[in-house]
Amino acid sequence: MESDEDLVKVLASAVDQWFRYYEVQHDDHVWNVLCNAALDLYKDGYRSEGDLATVLIGAFVGVASTKINASASATVH
């Protein structure tokens, strides 16, 4: 089992990959949406930074997709 610190690093790195992939500047709202989604994905069994980033990139296509008022888990699934 990973420590909380290790988990935070994995989630943050996956979210950073999303920002780099879509070439957008940091935005607190987007960051929070993606971190919550990444945590839900982690709870669903996605453990690697690469897997988390891949699913985030596919599920949240650009900044506009993070503005929906649905829960992150429902959006991803």
Is the residue at 16 inside a domain?
Answer: yes
How long is the chain?
77
Is the residue at 8 inside a domain?
Answer: yes
Is the residue at 37 inside a domain?
Answer: yes
Is the residue at 68 inside a domain?
Answer: no
Domain of 26 in residue numbering reads as 4-63
7-39 tens-digit pLDDT: 999 999 999 999 999 999 999 999 999 999 999
Is the residue at 9 inside a domain?
Answer: yes
Is the residue at 53 inside a domain?
Answer: yes
Measured between alpha carbons, how far is residue 72 from residues 5, 13, 77 in Å?
22, 18, 9
Instruction: Report helix, strand or coil for 70.
Output: coil
pTM above threshold 0.75? yes
For residues 59 and 1, which has the higher predicted lDDT (pLDDT)?
59
Q: How many domains does the chain have?
A: 1
Is the residue at 74 inside a domain?
Answer: no
